[in-house]
């Protein structure tokens, strides 16, 4: 299934794509795409619905984040060997974890707001993993049973805030609009192999990232298991699993960063696409 949320910010309704790619309204059956509706039982109830009986949404308009009520937005740093190389960082021996504020979450096509004082706002196409069953001390062999599905994430980052202002990475990752998620939550049964998905990103039509999840250092099942050793994972939590090379800070002969009025487009095979226009903070 491809699940989505549409409507004005703060008033989104849950929806689902039918076989013809039309949006069907789920709001009479499902309050929102959060919590128990992301569990195996909740997803089974949605899958059992006759989509032909659900109202068609002819003009869905704005899409919101495909997951509501995200409790934790957990990110993995330097999870692609070639991306680590372009940043001059060593290959991590264990996953590097940091948190992104949930207030950064926006719809897939909402504007990216460049923060006040920013000089190094950057892009990162990433595979998002949505948790569907509580995970606490799970094994790698059992980890995928705790995954509801996958989504596209742009882990927008301000590199000066991240690396030049002291402390941890979180403050360079958490500005409002720095977490576009969607367009869809694609359930796990529709993704045959999360470690073999092509991914790309362009800025103003110029290809910047062109990679594959097959080059991850730590795969999805390992990440879910690993993170669950340090904190419980709850339905609706999102893990953003790292980015391939081609980010602005790694470009040669010199880095390039986002300016107001630019267009970012990105996609992952089977998970849809996003388009964002950059704006300066008011």
Q: Are strands 105-106 and 179-180 parallel, antiparallel or unpaired?
A: parallel
User: Residue 281: its pLDDT value, please?
Assistant: 97
Whether the predicted pLDDT of 87 surpasses 80? no
The band of 82, judged by pLDDT with boundaries at 50, 70 and 90, is: confident
The pLDDT value recorded for residue 81 is 84
CB-based contact 162:98 (threshold 8 Å): no
pLDDT per residue over 105-121, tens digit each? 999 999 999 999 999 99
pLDDT in tens, 32-66: 999 999 999 999 999 999 999 999 999 999 999 99
Q: Write down the architecture of domain 73-280 according to CATH.
A: Alpha-Beta Complex (3.90)
Of 156, 143, 121, 113, give the one whose Cα is nearest residue 243: 156
Rounded CA separation 257/86 (Å): 15
Share of the chain above pLDDT 70, in %: 100
Torsion of CA 38, 40, 46, 50, to 10 degrees: 160
What's the confidence (pLDDT) of residue 83? 79
pLDDT of residue 140: 98
Average pLDDT over the chain, rounded to an integer: 96
Structure tokens at 274: 């996003």
CATH 3.90.850.10 residue window(s) in the chain:
73-280
Structural contact between residues 275 and 154, judged by C-beta atoms closer than 8 angstroms:
no
DSSP 214-278: GGBSS-HHHHHHHHHTTS-B-TT-EEE----S--GGG-SSS-----TT-EEEEEETTTEEEEEEE
Q: Are 266 and 152 in contact (CB under 8 A)?
A: yes
């Amino acid at each position: 299934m491809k699940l989505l949320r549409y409507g004005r910010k703060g008033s989104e309704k849950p929806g689902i794509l039918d076989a013809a790619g039309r949006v069907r309204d789920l709001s009479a059956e499902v309050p929102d795409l959060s919590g128990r509706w992301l569990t195996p039982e909740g997803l089974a109830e949605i899958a059992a619905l006759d989509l032909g009986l659900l109202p068609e949404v002819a003009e869905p308009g704005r899409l919101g984040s495909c997951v509501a009520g995200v409790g934790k937005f957990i990110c993995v740093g330097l999870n692609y060997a070639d991306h680590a190389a372009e940043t001059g960082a060593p290959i991590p021996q264990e996953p590097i974890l940091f948190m992104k504020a949930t207030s950064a979450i926006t719809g897939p096509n909402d504007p990216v707001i460049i923060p006040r004082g920013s000089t190094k706002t950057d892009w990162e196409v990433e595979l998002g993993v949505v948790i569907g069953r509580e995970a606490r001390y799970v094994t790698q062999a059992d980890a995928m049973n705790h995954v509801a599905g996958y989504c596209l994430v742009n882990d927008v980052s301000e590199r000066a805030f991240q690396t030049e202002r002291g402390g941890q990475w979180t403050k360079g990752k958490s500005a409002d609009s720095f977490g576009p998620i969607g367009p869809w939550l694609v359930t796990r049964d529709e993704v045959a192999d999360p470690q073999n998905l092509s991914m790309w990103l362009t800025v103003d039509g110029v290809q910047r990232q062109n990679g594959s999840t097959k080059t991850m250092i730590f795969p999805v099942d390992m990440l879910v298991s690993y993170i669950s050793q340090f904190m419980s994972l709850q339905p609706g939590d999102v893990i953003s699993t790292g980015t391939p090379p081609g980010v602005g800070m790694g470009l040669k002969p010199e880095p390039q960063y986002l300016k107001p009025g630019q267009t970012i487009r990105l996609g992952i095979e089977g998970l849809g696409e996003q388009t964002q226009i950059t704006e300066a903070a008011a």
